Amino acid sequence: MSSVVHTAQSVGNPALNIGIFALFVAVTLGIVIKVASGKKTAAEYYTGGAAFSGRQNGIAIAGDYLSAASFLGIAGAIALQGYDGFLYSIGFLVAWLVALLLVAELMRNTGRFTMADVLSFRLRQRPVRIAAATSALAVSFFYLLAQMAGAGGLVSLLLGLDGRVAQYIVIAVVGVVMIGYVMIGGMKGTTWVQMIKAVLLIAATFIITVWTLGKFGFDFSTLLQAAVDRSPEGSKMLDPGLRYGKNGTTKLDFISLGLALVLGTAGLPHVLIRFYTVPTSKQARKSVEWAIWLIGGFYLLTLVVGYGAAALVGPERIKAAPGAANSAAPLLAYELGGSPLLGIISGIAFATILAVVAGLTITTSATFAHDIYNQVIRRGEATPGEEVRVARMAALVGGVVAIVGGILAYGQNIAFLVALAFAVAASANLPTILYSLFWKRFNTRGALWSIYGGLGSTLILILFSPVVSGKPADPKTGLSTSMITNPAIDFHWFPLDNPGIVSIPLAFFLGWLGSVTSKEYNAAKYAEMEVRSLTGAGAHNQALEH
């Protein structure tokens, strides 16, 4: 067992891992500097001049969406929980059908930069922009916090770093490099980083998949049987219910989590902003199609990686390693190819964190500069140059906040932060987006009630849920999965980990109630928005005006 733990801690050759990471940073920074040459208008900074093709944007979306949690977290969940772990992959993939059918093309056709542009198109500008920007910043902050906090533990696992100081340094390095990407390259540079990362991550996962299947004669059934034989859960690894079938609460919790995952993706600000980086609505639709194929293919690969880790590494070794479930894929890579393959995985893990964090940072900086500074504070009078300067300053400040927040949140329940981001997006953003696009009677009061009601109810229910207090310690590890680990402090009364099953319908109801109790709505403006969203007429000229 000591050799196993040592392998997990040192992770092969940390010097090789650091070298690969340094090479990736050097190459991508060079690309960012090259593509970012020339003066930046607001359109260049926010959308890369809408110059990317549907295929390029689809690859970038995959790079933005496939975070380290997708690679390490889902693979580990499958390795330990079997079928129930794969349900995360299904939820994340199905979510893109909502984005494709209801959001992507229509939002691109409005010709705007941010989610607040769409929501305020036919409503009162200032209150709706403030509400939409608040929601967008909340989602981005929690998502960003999860990535930054996870960076310390993840990279420490891959590089063999010990001690909190070293992990804090890793968080700071990730933040500094991310700030450089965004401030230098804007959306164009960030998009290229995401494309490179997507290709590397999918290629590396494909190699591990083929290598793993080769160990079992390319017979998936044999691989599954080996996983069943090595797991203490036995054949339950192939059946639903290992994690979410213990009682009625866990089943209801899975439904709630599934609603948040499936509906939250179409409301994530860093995903929505990517629809504006293509020149036409057709390319926006094509970019989502590319993203679906790439993301779907990747999640199928995680099925082999997860069960492969269960078969070749074993659940006991995975649980004993630093990072527990998150160590499944790295340990499998070490089992297959030793230090060289693990070094490649380490570099790609770095790339994954950087690409996702850069996408979140460009979104928060655009939201602050365009929606809050220009439209609310300056009432639309700021010049494009001023917007870009403020956006860069916002990226710098946001990066510092992310670094500090990541350090403060290190060691906390990262799954809670990610789930919170999806729950807020599904509750506060998506109902308002759908009402704005499809309901003529929708008005400012409905938008404000929907956004603030969805945001507030999500935060309150999470605060009083078991993820904050109330979960007993695991008898095997002695650890609690609640944020507050002191069993004497228990103030939870909401029984579910994720509030989506309550907060999402509540936000839809509040949007309807607010609208029908107010007579203020602009039918002519809705007609204009409907024509624009369905046909794209005027979208290009309107985008150029900004």
Question: Which candidate, 146, 68, 176, places its Cα nearest to that of 395?
Answer: 176
pLDDT score for 168: 77
Instruction: Tell me the per-residue pLDDT of 484-508, one tens digit each, with 9 for 90 and over.
Output: 767 778 888 998 888 999 999 999 9
pLDDT of residue 21: 75
* Residue 494 identity (one-letter amino acid): F
What pLDDT does residue 311 have? Answer: 93
Supply the pTM of this predicted model: 0.84
Q: Please, are residues 358 and 375 in contact by the beta-carbon 8 Å criterion?
A: no
Name the DSSP letter for residue 277: G
User: Average pLDDT, stretch 332-347?
Assistant: 84
Q: Is the pLDDT of residue 541 over 80?
A: no
Radius of gyration of the chain, Cα coordinates, nearest whole angstrom: 23
Q: How far apart are CA 435 and CA 438, in angstroms?
A: 5
CA atoms of 305 and 162, how far apart (whole Å)? 27
Which pLDDT value is given to residue 304? Answer: 94
- Residues 435, 121: contact at Cβ < 8 Å? no
Q: Is the pLDDT of residue 136 over 80?
A: yes
Lowest-confidence region among 6-10, 84-88, 381-385: 6-10
Among the residue ranges 164-168, 436-440, 444-448, the one predicted with the least confidence is 164-168
Average pLDDT over residues 249-256: 82
pLDDT of 153: 63
pLDDT at 111: 64
Predicted confidence (pLDDT) at residue 402 exceeds the cutoff of 50 = yes
Please tell me the predicted confidence (pLDDT) of residue 34: 81
Q: Tell me if 505 is assigned to some domain.
A: no
H helices within 120-163, ranges in order?
125-159
Average pLDDT over residues 59-78: 83
Mean pLDDT score, 187-191? 85
Q: Could you give the 3-state DSSP secondary structure of residue 316?
A: helix
**What is the per-residue pLDDT for 159?**
65
- Chain segment 349-364, per-residue pLDDT in tens: 777 777 788 888 888 8
Residues 544/465, Cβ–Cβ less than 8 Å:
no
pLDDT of residue 403: 83
* CA pair distance 451, 462, nearest whole angstrom: 17
- Greatest mean pLDDT range, 10-14, 284-288, 503-507: 503-507
In a domain, 495, yes or no: no
**In this structure, what DSSP letter does residue 234 have?**
G
Tokens of 488: 């004497």
The chain-wide mean pLDDT, for the chain, equals: 82
pLDDT band of residue 510 (cuts 50, 70, 90) is: very high
Whole-number pLDDT of residue 540:
47
pLDDT (mean) for 309-324 = 83
**Integer Cα distance of 503 and 423 in angstroms:** 8
Chain CA centroid to CA 448, Å: 25
**Residues whose CB falls within 8 Å of the CB of residue 414, separated by 6 or more in sequence, listed in order:** 69, 146, 149, 150
Domain that holds residue 351: 2-33+42-410
* Res 539 pLDDT > 60: no
Examine the pLDDT at 432 and tell me if it is beyond 50: yes
Residue 120's CATH number:
1.20.1730.10
* Average pLDDT estimate for 225-245: 84
Does residue 47 form part of some domain? yes
Cα(436)–Cα(452) distance, rounded to whole angstroms? 16
Instruction: Answer whether residue 14 is part of any domain.
Output: yes
Distance CA 437, CA 340 (A): 50
Q: Looking at 297-301, 438-442, 473-477, 536-540, which range is the least confident one?
A: 473-477
**Is the pLDDT assigned to residue 412 strictly greater than 80?**
no
Check the CA dihedral 309-313-315-317 and report its sign: negative
Distance CA(513)–CA(273), nearest Å, equals 29
Number of domains in the chain: 1
In percent, how much of the chain has pLDDT > 70? 86
State the pLDDT at residue 172.
Answer: 83
Q: Please tell me the predicted confidence (pLDDT) of residue 461.
A: 92
In a domain, 189, yes or no: yes
Q: Where are the alpha helices (DSSP H) in 82-124?
A: 83-98, 105-109, 115-119
Mean pLDDT calculated for residue range 331-336: 90
> At residue 434, does pLDDT exceed 90?
yes
pLDDT reading at 4 higher than 60: no
- pLDDT (tens digit per residue) in 212-223: 999 999 999 999
Residue 90 lies in a domain: yes
Average the pLDDT over each of 406-410, 453-457, 458-462 and give the range with the smallest value. 406-410
Instruction: Classify residue 507: in a domain, yes or no.
Output: no
174 contacts 383 by C-beta, under 8 angstroms:
no
Angle between helices 164-215 and 14-35 (to 10 degrees): 100
CA–CA dist 397, 399 (Å, integer): 5
By the 8 A CB rule, do 243 and 81 touch? Answer: yes
Determine contact, residues 490/483, Cβ cutoff 8 Å: no
Q: Give the number of C-alpha atoms closer than 13 A to the C-alpha of residue 363, restricted to the C-beta side.
A: 32
Residue 6 confidence (pLDDT): 37
Query: Within a domain: residue 473?
Result: no
